[in-house]
Amino acid sequence: MSMNPCRFGLIGYPLEHSASAGYFAEKFKREGLSGFSYSLFPLMHVDEVRALIAGTARLQGFNVTIPFKESIIPFLDRLDPLAAGIGAVNTVLIRHTGGLAELIGYNTDAGGFKSSLDPGFPYTHALILGTGGSAKAVAFILKEMGLEVLHVSRTKKSENIIRYDELSAGLLKKFTFIVNCTPAGMFPDTETAPPLPFGLLGPQHYVYDLVYKPPETKLLHLARAEGAKVQNGIKMFENQAELSFGIWMNAK
């Protein structure tokens, strides 16, 4: 990609929780990338993406958030092998050739999540709250790391998914790493939390919430009160943003 001023952005709905525009504005300023910009593009339907590209000059790439990380895939021309293996996309590179725009999908959530974990990560069993695009990326990494993974959802959709009301003391004794991949607790609905049996948590548990706004969600507050180790999603957010930017800027 040339160093001519470029435009990037984020698609999804709603986007009021996102820190992406501010993060990239600071990054462009810090790196002296004059004329570069990053915008929020709230779309009600994923099939609006081609019209967005056609109507947005200099758009070279965009990130994808809720609820389009899986539904964007049929609108792409190609998938990076990692994104194809995960089945979800959060970063899209746009190649402009003549009057055509080729869309290539990537997943930087996976790498962003993995690099946010502490060295010497000791856990062997993980509960993943949710089944969407972010949950798929997290599950992919944890399985790659050798963990046994079990998804938790409000409705049972397959054999590897249980409902919240099926969580027992026995399960929570075994599955001590818990990752929230749902939007529960995300700004502006900060008083919500996944319906975990918090009284069964303790110091042996590590609760990771992909939500980063607010910095301490109700989930993390309740888990911390039971003695659990907690972490929000800000490191993952920053790591995936850097990986996305590398894809856009290193495109040939």
As annotated, the residues of the chain forming the CATH 3.40.50.720 domain(s) are 117-232
Q: Are 183 and 66 contacting, i.e. CB atoms less than 8 angstroms apart?
A: yes
Show pLDDT as tens, one digit a residue, over the chain (252 residues).
Answer: 446 789 999 999 999 889 999 999 999 999 999 999 999 999 999 999 999 999 999 999 999 999 999 999 999 999 999 999 999 999 999 998 887 899 999 999 999 999 999 989 999 999 999 999 999 999 999 999 999 999 999 887 777 899 999 999 999 999 999 999 999 999 999 999 999 999 999 999 999 999 999 999 999 999 999 999 999 999 999 999 999 999 999 976
The answer to whether 69 is a known catalytic residue is yes
State which fold the 7-108+237-249 domain adopts. Rossmann fold (3.40.50)
**Residue in 224, 221, 160, 173 with CA at minimum distance from that of residue 193:** 221
Q: What is the pTM of this model?
A: 0.94
Active-site choice (27, 69, 213, 218)? 69
Collect all residues with Cβ–Cβ distance below 8 Å to 174 and sequence separation of at least 6: 125
CATH class label, 117-232: alpha beta
Q: Can you tell me the distance from the alpha carbon of 82 to that of 144, in angstroms, rounded to the nearest whole number?
A: 12
